[in-house]
Structures are given as C-alpha cells and as structure tokens.
Amino acid sequence: MKDPNDPLKQRAEREGLKMVRRDLVPSTRRAHEAAEYARSKGKLEPMHAELLKAYWTEGLDLYSFHVLREAAVKAGLDPDQMQREIEQGTFKPIVEEGIREAHEIGIHAVPTFIFDDRLAVQGAQELPVFRLAMQQLGARPLK
C-alpha cells in the first residue's frame, strides 16, 4: 500500500475509491468476532459495510474496541453488549472454525470468491478474471 504504483491502489483510484496507506496491518480477529456478533443480531450487512469503510477508507485499526464500538453504533447495534461478548470469547470459536475450514480447502487470501462451490478466485482481481471464471463455469458472456 505504500508503493505509489501499487496496482490495487491504482484500481481503487480509477474507480473513485479512497484507500488509506498504513505502516502496520492490524489484527482483524476482533473485527471478525464483531461481525459474527452482528450476524447473530441480523445486522451483518451494515456492520460489514462499516468495518470495510473504517479499514480501507479511514485507515482505522480494526483491533481497537473504540473503532469496533463506533461501527456497531452506526450499524444499529449495542456497542456495550458487543464488546462484552467479544471479551467473553462468545464468537471466538466460530471465527476460529471458519479460519480452519478455509485453510483446509486452500484459502489463504482475502478476499477469496467461491463460485458454485467449484472455482475459487483469490485476491482482489480485475473484472476480466471474474468474467473468465464465469465462462469456465459455463456462463455465456453478456452482450
């Protein structure tokens, strides 16, 4: 991300998206647990959107409870309950199981896109890569 010629950063700029440069990559473990808390409350989508914005656009540390609490409030969740459940480890087994399952099937990159349980595309790829994946699965090209 520090390289001004970083292809991912250049793609984001072409699309009008802001990506913040950072010196350290924070642990996202708590953010995953916060997302599982949100899922349990039926608020995964708004929480996920807030976490992505905090990380990629604002360059915030997703390990910080301050950041997670702010995202929870914006997603319509109770930040006190979320923090208590994370501190108690309520969602830790779910996150650890997801990581274990991903590694078992060869997923080591974020993001990874799974198509029809048959094809995986790992990493942030250009649109032609996704079109090729769809063609390999038998989809006809859009006209």
Model pLDDT for residues 27-45, shown as the tens digit of each residue: 889 999 999 999 999 999 9
Residues of the chain with pLDDT under 70: 1-4, 22, 142-143
The whole-model pTM stands at 0.77
What's the pLDDT at 100? 94
What's the pLDDT at 108? 83
Residue 47: closest CA among 73, 28, 85:
73
What kind of fold does domain 7-104 have according to CATH?
Answer: Glutaredoxin (3.40.30)
Q: How many other β-carbons are positioned within 10 Å of the β-carbon of residue 41?
A: 16
Query: What are the structural domain ranges in the chain?
Result: 7-104, 108-143
What's the pLDDT at 47? 98
